[in-house]
Structure 1
Amino acid sequence: MKVRDVMSSNVESCSNQDSLQAVASKMESLNVGAIPVVENGQVVGMITDRDLALRGIGHNGNGHASQVMSNNIVTIDADANLQEASSLMAQHQIRRLPVVENGNLVGMLSLGDLAVQDQSDESAGEALSQISQNDVQ
């Protein structure tokens, strides 16, 4: 099974010039904990609710997305298989992977997406185990 078969394809994003308030508001209205930062269709960063809470406070909530986003983003191609996705998640200790096609954002794959697939239950379990194991070290 491929990533495109289980990814969320209705992904909202923000730009690196969006205000932190706008990003937080979008996350709240979408009920998500992370949002990709996209410029010209390509993922240039990722902002999590934790980034807003920890780094955003340093800017008194008045900064821009570019000031709190993570820059070294791991992405996966929509045609990759689920085993590759779970391995990437485990290796990089991440719970969400932006999905790209020809370099452009087309979806988002979460650890939860992997967990609900019968064929990937074991892969998701392994990924979560490795992510959680490394969190406590």
Structure 2
Amino acid sequence: MTKVSDVMNPVVVSISPHSEMKELLDVLSREKSGRVVVMDQGKPVAMVTTRSVVLAYAEHGRELSRLKVKDLMSEDLVKVRLDDELQAVLRLMLNKEIGGVPVMDGDVLVGIFTERELIKFMAKQTYSGLVDSVMSTDLKVIDEHEDTLEASKMMQRYKVRRLPVVSNGRLVGIITAADIVKSLARTLDPKPVLEAGTRNPITVGRYETLMRIVRIMEERRIGTIPVVENEIVGIVTERDLLYATVTSGIS
């Protein structure tokens, strides 16, 4: 069986709980996994994610700059052991509704495992399945004329990290929590969603294979792909693939 140590990322990006918001935004805007480990006196104490920042921005707007990392810290840090089996770690992440966990060797932080590492792992495997079987169809979309603050409020309201951008019902872009953080690293002023997000994103049909979309995600380093059949009918995210991996037993 695959161990988490076989697929984890040994390079861990960390930050102090006392760091200012500007430093956090700068670090998160460069971090592909969308999360950093908060270290206090050499010990991991929390995880802060792009979603953490987006929720704070939705609540505080430009006053976000007054906050520090400690104001965004999760209360209960879920950790895993170096020798834990991958399937057990995936089930834990799914049950806790989290996208990443620090990997510990005793009391020492030795790596991190996130949905991004899962995609890298899946891209090397062989398995069956179609997009139609895993895509999310309860879509929340945002109009192209809205801005990043409204997108943050929608992400807070609907508990999502990504929003397809539409114009008269037609898909024209997508904006993610990571996009908003990158925008905030430049300015706390709200920006149009199409300026901060991605125009004309890569799309797939509902009968595309899971193997192909996983490889697209890995090659393009993206975490979501809209599903289009003349109009947008669904979306496939890293979380959907996490669920599929747990239920199918890919390991």
Of 108, 118, 121, the residue aligned with 2:235 is: 108
Q: What residue number does 1:2 align with?
A: 130
Is 1:51 the equivalent of 2:179? Answer: yes
| Contact 2:225/2:237 (8 A) holds in 1 | yes
Identity %, equivalent residues: 25
Give the secondary structure class of the aligned counterpart of 1:116: helix
Structure 2 partner of 1:24: 152
Structure 2: runs of 5+ lacking an equivalent: 1-128
In the alignment, is the contact (CA less than 8 A) between 1:23 and 1:65 conserved in 2? yes
Higher relative contact order (CA 8 A, sep 6+): 1
Q: CA shift at 1:92, angstroms?
A: 1.1
**What residue identity is the alignment partner of 2:238?**
L
Q: Is the 8 A contact 1:56 1:63 kept in 2?
A: no
Correspondence for 1:127:
none
Contact 1:114–1:120 (CA<8 Å) still a contact in 2? no
- State the aligned residue count: 121
CA RMSD of aligned residues (A): 2.1
Q: How far apart are residue 26 of structure 1 and its match?
A: 0.1
Which residue of structure 1 lines up, in the alignment, with residue 213 of structure 2? 85
1:74 aligns with 2:202: yes
Post-superposition shift, 1:66? 2.2
Q: CA deviation at 1:24?
A: 0.8
The gaps in structure 1 that reach 5 residues or longer are: 123-137
